[in-house]
Chain A
Amino acid sequence: QIQLVQSGPELKKPGESVKISCKASGYTFTDYAMHWVKQAPGKGLKWMGWINTYTGKPTYADDFKGRFVFSLEASASTANLQISNLKNEDTATYFCARGDGGPDYWGQGVMVTVSS
Chain B
Amino acid sequence: DIQMTQSPSVLSASVGDRVTLNCKASQNINKYLNWYQQKLGEAPKLLIYNTNNLQTGIPSRFSGSGSGTDYTLTISSLQPEDVATYFCFQHNSWPWTFGGGTKLELK
**Are the CB atoms of A46 and B46 closer together than 8 Å?**
no
Interface of A is mostly: loop
A102 at the interface (CB under 8 A from B): yes
Measured CA separation A86–B98 after assembly (Å):
24
Q: Which of B's residues lie within 8 Å of A, judged by CB?
A: 32, 34, 36, 38, 43-46, 49-50, 55, 87, 89, 91, 94-101
**Are the CB atoms of A104 and B49 closer together than 8 Å?**
yes
| CB-CB nearest 10 A-B residue pairs | A106-B43, A102-B91, A61-B95, A45-B98, A102-B34, A44-B101, A47-B96, A104-B46, A44-B100, A109-B43
Interface size class of chain A, counting residues whose CB lies under 8 Å from the partner chain: 20 to 34
Contacts of B101 in A (CB 8 A): 44-45
Measured CA separation A108–B39 after assembly (Å):
12
Contacts of A102 in B (CB 8 A): 32, 34, 46, 49, 89, 91, 96
